[in-house]
Chain A
Amino acid sequence: MQSFSYLRPADADAAIAAAAQPGKKYIAGGTDLMQLMKDDVERPAQIVDLDALPYTKIEAGPDALRLGALATMSDVAAHPEVARKYPVIAQALLASASPQLRNMATMGGNMLQRTRCGYFRDTGFACNKREPGSGCPAIHGQNRLLAILGGSGHCIATHPSDLAVALVALDTVLELRGANGATRQVALGDFHKLPGDTPHIETVLQPGELITALVVPASAAARRSGYLKVRDRASFEFALVSAAVALDLDGGVIRDARIAMGGVGTKPWRLPAVEGALRGHQAGDVAFAAAAAQAPEGAMPAVQNAFKVKLMQKTLVRALRTVAA
């Protein structure tokens, strides 16, 4: 790991001013950044520690759930109101990482988690995300775990987060704070960028801009929601395919549906066409299968990850059945 200096600002504005300079990196839980620094993928000159900042609160109000960006995955997963009114969030969190990592990792950091693509994490290989313009060995290489949706000729790296999949399904909004105290809100669906020809630019964050909170609107669909994660091991593994499903049922009829999937996209993948196909239909296998058939629309599988096209549909049908039951 390259040597770096360490700064622990007492408030957000001091942190933002420091981190706006090149070569600076925020550290919150540090679970991903530490790995990337050990592998020389990240080589910051200075670490800006967010530990003193006051963004750890979890507030479950009548209209929304407000998650401080520094709340840990463990604390959010264990919050009784999260489990009761937003089960898809609690389930996605408990399906993530390990208990130790969940004790460290934070909400904001999870949104900024980097891809697990092996080429990105090994400096012995070219990677357009790590070194723009150097090439992408994954497209014709080891790509079993990589994305079938949202990729480009420059990058097909999967977004690794489970939490972001659950949150994007529930129309979560991120609160950001930038230089001079300026704040703005960005829908999570607009926060991550598709790789296009600039896969090294992963989000809309400006230099130094900080995620301070994640706001999830309350809804009937959020109450009836769930997360299904399919993976190579029973636990402590990234998703091959995952589904976040939230349904508002009126009798047996689907009044509203929110669907997002993980393990398949270069960003947390919302599926509006599937949602449209479900709305107004009787909940059941006929509607589920018809809607799930639209899930892989636009998929461009590579040689090793083509299985995800079918797995996506089967995972989604099973998640819909579970949540509707």
Chain B
Amino acid sequence: MRTPSLTRRGLLGRSAATAGGLAVVPLVARAAPEIPATTAPPNPVRTPEMVDVVLQVNGKRLPLAIEPRVSLLDALREQAGLTGTKKGCDRGSCGACTVHVDGRRVNACLTLAIRCQNKAVTTIEGLAAGDTLHPMQAAFVAHDAFQCGYCTPGQIMSAVALIEEGHAHSDGDIREWMAGNICRCGAYNHIVDAVRDVAGQTDTGRG
């Protein structure tokens, strides 16, 4: 779970509130009260459609009251505040929402949260061990395997799974088995470098 202060999301929310305050009563802007650091709403009003579900996310128990139609992606981002998992196309085409459910990579946007009870969910927030990055995260940094970074959490979750699946035999294999993750900045070459590095392969045939 995120800490309640010093998050990018919190800072953005705070600046917006401050700017709004300035326009109306500039003299008291400095004294504007703190708003909660996260914009993820607290538990919203309970509606009749809501059901209680308990997810296991990154080894922690996560009780939620959600409608059955809520995707795992929205539950993670909007309810749990785990915004590392990204929403790109929301149709299974881009891979930005890739997480692991019971050890297998899936598109969280096409997964209903209610169907994940009693299953272990791992998100990008669950990869690092404290302040020590997962080797794949470190390799993405070392190889500059991103530009804007929006697809990166999904790329990393896919890359970790790909190596566990045993599919990183060549650059061609890496490209094929990373095909479910689109990068519009076009960082593909560096992504392949990072995955190859972690897999211990030496193929540089750009295949």
Contact assessment for A100 and B98 in the assembled complex, using a CB-CB cutoff below 8 Å:
yes
Asked if A236 and B71 sit within 8 Å, CB to CB, the answer is: no
Nearest CB of chain B from residue A145's CB, rounded to whole Å: 15
B105 near A103 with CB under 8 A, answer: yes
Interface flags for A95-118 (1: CB within 8 Å of B; 0: not) read 001111101100000000000000
**How far is A76 from B127 in the complex, measured between Cα atoms in Å?**
29
Binding site for B on A (CB under 8 A): 1-6, 27, 30-31, 34-35, 37-38, 47, 49, 51, 74, 97-101, 103-104, 234-236
Cβ contact within 8 Å between A34 and B105: no
Assess the B92–A103 pair: CB atoms within 8 A. Answer: no
A-B contacts counted at CB < 8 A amount to: 80
Contact present for A101 and B107 (CB under 8 Å) = yes
Q: Known contacts A3-B69, A34-B112, A47-B68: does B92 contact A101 (CB below 8 Å)?
A: yes
Q: How far is the CA of A85 from the CA of B98 in the complex (A)?
A: 33
Interface SS of A by simple majority: mixed
What count of chain B residues pass the 8 Å CB interface test? 32
Interface residues of B in 142-187 (CB under 8 A from A): 158, 161-162, 165, 167, 175-177, 179-181
Residues of B100-132 at the interface with A, using a CB-CB cut-off of 8 Å, are 104-107, 109-112, 114-115
Chain A residues lying within 8 Å of B98, measured Cβ to Cβ, are 100
Taking the closest CB of chain A, its distance from the CB of B151, in whole angstroms, is 13
Which listed residue, A1, A3, A31, A74, touches B92 by the CB 8 Å rule? A31
Q: Which residues of A contact B167 (CB under 8 A)?
A: 99
> Known: A27-B112, A35-B91. Is A100-B105 also a contact (CB below 8 A)?
yes
Q: Does B52 contact A (CB under 8 A)?
A: no
Given contacts A27-B115, A34-B71, A100-B95, 18 further A-B contacts (CB under 8 A): A3-B49, A3-B67, A5-B49, A5-B68, A34-B92, A34-B112, A35-B91, A35-B110, A37-B69, A38-B90, A98-B95, A98-B180, A99-B180, A100-B92, A104-B106, A104-B110, A235-B176, A235-B179
* Distance in Å: Cβ of B176 to nearest Cβ of chain A: 6
Once A27-B112, A98-B179 are accepted as A-B contacts, the answer to whether A6 and B68 lie under 8 Å apart by CB is yes
What B residues does A49 contact at CB under 8 A?
115
Residues of B within 8 A of A30 (CB): 110-112, 115
Chain B residue with Cβ nearest A5: B68
Could you jot down 16 A-B contacts, CB within 8 Å?
A: A3-B49, A4-B69, A34-B71, A35-B91, A38-B91, A47-B68, A74-B104, A99-B105, A99-B165, A99-B167, A100-B95, A101-B107, A101-B110, A103-B106, A104-B106, A235-B175
Instruction: Kindly provide the distance from the CB of B184 to the nearest chain A CB, expressed in whole angstroms.
Output: 14
Q: Min CB distance, B164 to chain A, in Å?
A: 12
A291 to B95, CA, bound (A): 41
Are B107 and A100 neighbours in the complex by a CB distance under 8 Å?
A: yes
Known: A103-B106, A104-B107, A235-B176. A4 touches B68 (CB 8 A): yes
Which B residues lie within 8 Å of A234 (CB)?
179
User: Which A residues are in CB contact (< 8 Å) with B104?
Assistant: 74, 103
Most buried by A among B51, B91, B92: B92
Report Cα–Cα, A30/B112, bound state, in Å. Answer: 8
Q: A146 CB to closest chain B CB, in angstroms?
A: 20
The 8 Å CB contact of A99, one of B51, B91, B109, B162, is: B162
**A4-B69, A49-B115 known; A31 vs B95 contact (CB < 8 Å):** no
B71 to chain A, nearest CB (A): 7
Among residues of B, the one whose C-beta sits closest to the C-beta of A74 is B104
